[in-house]
């Protein structure tokens, strides 16, 4: 059975593959007041794949730069963001397609063929001429053509820069904004962290959290297990050592109330919830955390 359009309209968590090399671009700007060219020089390739199991559309941009180096970036998109592409075109017989993806920084246009859950073709990019001035009004430097393309590619727009200001973050450079987009530190990520009390002041810290796999759901999960008031560094430390909300919940259900540092130590010494449960069942009661660590270090096979 084909998935419904309602299912495909869900907004998926952005997954970004970092741009490896720069794409061939239009000539550099000669001054801040010069307009951007209406159409970016050169064209790239696109791929679109629908994963029926995950019910996710993955859009990939590919091209070769002037030196022959390959560049690629890929992320999930909702079908509703691809204007001109219908569910019947995506999942029906392969036919020619033409559709677009609009971002604040500009619009990508796609030509090619799609059907049977996939699509292939070429794309072009048209920069929004107002975008540079809008950023300047917000205190940023005007991006050049290369930077504006990457801001559009990684979905960095007005909502992100306005949210950074509202939360009191230090204003990043244009390059810093691009880095945030490449690493997935976008509007939804920042807003969700703020709702959990994390307004970090420095966008580099947001990128660091994202790089270490710290998501809002991860922070919320630890909080729900009683680990409140954790710093951003605490979250990174927990993630790096494999302490997850389910790991914390397992020990809580056994009757333990370990601190975050206790959980890190347990994880580092290979003390699992299953090991602690087997030791309790054999001894008749819960063992102290220190004893569990010593037993594991001795190689006890509980």
CB 285 within 8 A of CB 255: no
Question: Which run of H or E residues covers position 133?
Answer: helix 131-137
Going by their DSSP bridges, the two strands 118-127 and 70-77 should be labelled as unpaired
pLDDT of amino acid 88 = 93
Least confident of 13-27, 34-48, 136-150, 242-256: 13-27
Least confident of 13-22, 31-40, 53-62, 279-288: 13-22
Q: Residue 19's pLDDT band (boundaries 50, 70, 90)?
A: very low
How far apart CA 86 and CA 78 sit, in angstroms, is: 11
Contact residues for 97 (Cβ-Cβ < 8 A; gap 6+): 84, 85, 89, 110, 111, 112, 113, 114, 119, 121
What is the secondary structure of 224-271 as a DSSP string?
HTT--S--HHHHHHHHHTT--HHHHHHHHHTT----HHHHHHHHHTT-
Q: What is the pLDDT of residues 95-136, one digit of tens each?
A: 999 999 999 999 999 999 999 999 999 999 999 999 999 999
Q: What is the pTM of this model?
A: 0.80
Within 10 angstroms of residue 141's Cβ, the number of other Cβ atoms is 13
Q: What is the pLDDT of residues 135-176, one digit of tens each?
A: 999 999 999 998 999 999 999 999 999 999 999 999 999 999
Tell me: pLDDT of 11 over 60. no
């Amino acid at each position: 059975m084909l998935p419904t359009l309602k299912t495909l309209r869900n907004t998926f968590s952005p997954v970004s593959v970092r741009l490896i090399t720069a794409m061939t671009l239009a000539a550099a700007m000669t001054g801040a007041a010069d307009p951007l060219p209406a159409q970016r020089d050169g064209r790239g390739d696109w791929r679109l794949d629908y994963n029926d199991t995950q019910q996710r559309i993955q859009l990939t941009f590919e091209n070769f730069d002037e030196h022959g180096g390959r560049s690629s970036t890929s992320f999930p998109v909702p079908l509703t963001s691809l204007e001109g592409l219908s569910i019947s075109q995506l999942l029906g017989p392969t036919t020619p397609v033409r559709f677009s993806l609009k971002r604040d920084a500009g619009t990508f246009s796609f030509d090619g063929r799609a059907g049977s859950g996939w699509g292939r073709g070429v794309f072009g990019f048209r920069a929004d001429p107002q975008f540079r001035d809008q950023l300047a009004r917000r205190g940023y430097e005007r991006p050049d053509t290369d930077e504006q393309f990457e801001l559009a590619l990684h979905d960095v727009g007005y909502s992100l820069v306005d949210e950074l200001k509202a939360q009191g973050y230090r204003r990043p450079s244009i390059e810093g904004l691009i880095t945030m987009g490449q690493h997935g530190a976008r509007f939804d990520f920042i807003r969700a962290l703020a709702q959990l009390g994390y307004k970090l002041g420095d966008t580099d810290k947001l990128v660091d959290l994202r790089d270490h796999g710290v998501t809002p759901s991860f922070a919320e999960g630890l909080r729900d297990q009683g680990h409140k008031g954790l710093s951003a560094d605490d979250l990174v430390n927990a993630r790096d050592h494999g302490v997850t909300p389910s790991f914390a919940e397992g020990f809580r259900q056994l009757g333990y109330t370990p601190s975050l540092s206790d959980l890190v130590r347990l994880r580092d010494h290979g003390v699992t919830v299953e090991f602690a449960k087997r030791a309790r069942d054999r001894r008749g009661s819960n063992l102290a955390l220190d004893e569990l660590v010593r037993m594991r270090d001795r190689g006890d096979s509980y």
